[in-house]
Amino acid sequence: MGPIILCETKEASNSYTFSAFHQEISTYEEMCYYIKEYFIFFVEEGIPDDLLRFVINDLGIRDIETDWKLLNNDKDRLKRLFSCRNYFLPQEVANLMKKYDRHMTLDAATRKSRLGDEYLKQKRYETALKCYKQTNVFQNDARVCYNIGVCYAHLGDLDRAAHYFMQSYKIGGKKKAQYAYFGILMLQGEFTAVKITAGTDYPAFKQEWDAMKEAFAKMSGNDSAYQKKNRIEEMKEQYRREVDEWI
Amino acid sequence: MFYGFDFTNNICYIATYDGKKVEESDLVVCPQGLDERVAFLKGYVANDDRAAVAIEEVDESIQEFSAKLGPAFKVLSKEEAFGYYILGEDNTMWKRQNGAFEFHKDYFRFYEMSREGRILAVSSKRCDMKEVSLTTDKEKDKFFTKQSADVLNVRQINNVFLNGEEFKTDWMKLSLNALCAGRRVFAGNHLFATGALRSLTSNHNHRLELMTEDYHPFVWGIRTYHHGKKDVFAPIIQSGNFWFLTKGYVDVFVDECEELIIEGRNSLNQEKITLKLPLAFKSANPMRTTKLRIEIVCTGIHTILIRISDMGFGKTRAGAGKIFEEEYKLPSITGR
Chain B residues closer than 8 Å to A80 by CB: none
- For residue A32, the SS3 value is helix
Distance from CA of A15 to the nearest CA of B (A): 8
Distance from CA of B310 to the nearest CA of A (A): 13
> Does A74 lie at the interface with B, CB-CB under 8 angstroms?
no
Q: What pLDDT score was predicted for residue A15?
A: 94
Interface list for B 38-77 with A (CB within 8 A): none
Q: Residues B138, B143, B149, CA angle at the centre, nearest 5°?
A: 125
List of chain B residues with pLDDT < 50: none
> For residues A177 and A200, is the Cβ–Cβ distance under 8 A?
no
Residues contacting B133, CB < 8 A, separation 6+ = B139
Cβ atoms < 10 Å from Cβ of A229: 12
> For residues A36 and A30, is the Cβ–Cβ distance under 8 A?
no
Distance from CA of A115 to the nearest CA of B (A): 23
Cα separation, A177 vs A173, whole angstroms: 8
Instruction: Assess whether pLDDT exceeds 80 at residue A227.
Output: no
Chain B residues closer than 8 Å to A4 by CB: 222-225, 252-254, 257
CB contact under 8 A, A6 and B232: yes
> Does A92 lie at the interface with B, CB-CB under 8 angstroms?
no
Q: What pLDDT score was predicted for residue B89?
A: 87
Cα separation, B221 vs B232, whole angstroms: 10
- Name which of B225, B259, B286 is nearest A6 (Cβ-Cβ): B225
**Closest residue, chain A, to B280 (C-alpha):** A1
Q: What pLDDT score was predicted for residue A220?
A: 56
> For residues B210 and A65, is the Cβ–Cβ distance under 8 A?
no
Q: What pLDDT score was predicted for residue A39?
A: 92
Q: How far apart are the first and last CA of chain A?
A: 37
Q: Which helix (H) or strand (E) holds B148?
A: helix B137-152
- For residue B143, the SS3 value is helix
- For residue A228, the SS3 value is helix
Q: What pLDDT score was predicted for residue A17?
A: 94
Cα separation, B127 vs B102, whole angstroms: 10
- Across the range A108-114, mean pLDDT stands at 87
| Residue A116 φ/ψ region, left for φ over 0, alpha for ψ in the -120 to 50 degree band, beta for the rest | alpha
- Across the range A46-71, mean pLDDT stands at 91
C-alpha Rg value of chain A to the nearest Å: 23
Distance from CA of A5 to the nearest CA of B (A): 5
User: Global pTM?
Assistant: 0.73
> Does A90 lie at the interface with B, CB-CB under 8 angstroms?
yes
- Name which of A26, A83, A89 is nearest B314 (Cβ-Cβ): A26
- Across the range A3-31, mean pLDDT stands at 91
Interface list for A 22-51 with B (CB within 8 A): 23-27, 29-30, 33
CB contact under 8 A, B225 and A30: no
**Closest residue, chain B, to A94 (C-alpha):** B228
Distance from CA of A164 to the nearest CA of B (A): 35
CB contact under 8 A, B314 and A29: yes
- For residue B283, the SS3 value is coil
CA count, 13 A, side-chain hemisphere, B151: 26
Q: What is the pLDDT of residues B250-277, one digit of tens each?
A: 999 988 888 889 999 988 778 899 999 8
CB contact under 8 A, A4 and B227: no
> Smallest Cα–Cα separation from B2: which of B300, B284, B20?
B20
- For residue A158, the SS3 value is helix
Q: Is B315 exposed, middle or buried (0-12, 13-18, 19+ CB in 10 A)?
A: middle
The DSSP code sequence of B309-325 is EEEEETTTEEEEEEEEE
What letter does residue B160 receive in the DSSP assignment?
E
Distance from CA of B251 to the nearest CA of A (A): 5
> For residues A142 and A177, is the Cβ–Cβ distance under 8 A?
yes
Cα separation, B253 vs B224, whole angstroms: 9
> Which among A6, A33, A85, A87 is the top mutation candidate for probing chain B, defined by the most B β-carbons within 10 Å of its own β-carbon?
A6
Q: What pLDDT score was predicted for residue A72?
A: 83
CB contact under 8 A, B252 and A4: yes
Q: What is the pLDDT of residues A158-217, one digit of tens each?
A: 899 999 998 899 898 888 888 888 888 888 888 888 888 888 888 888 888 888 777 767
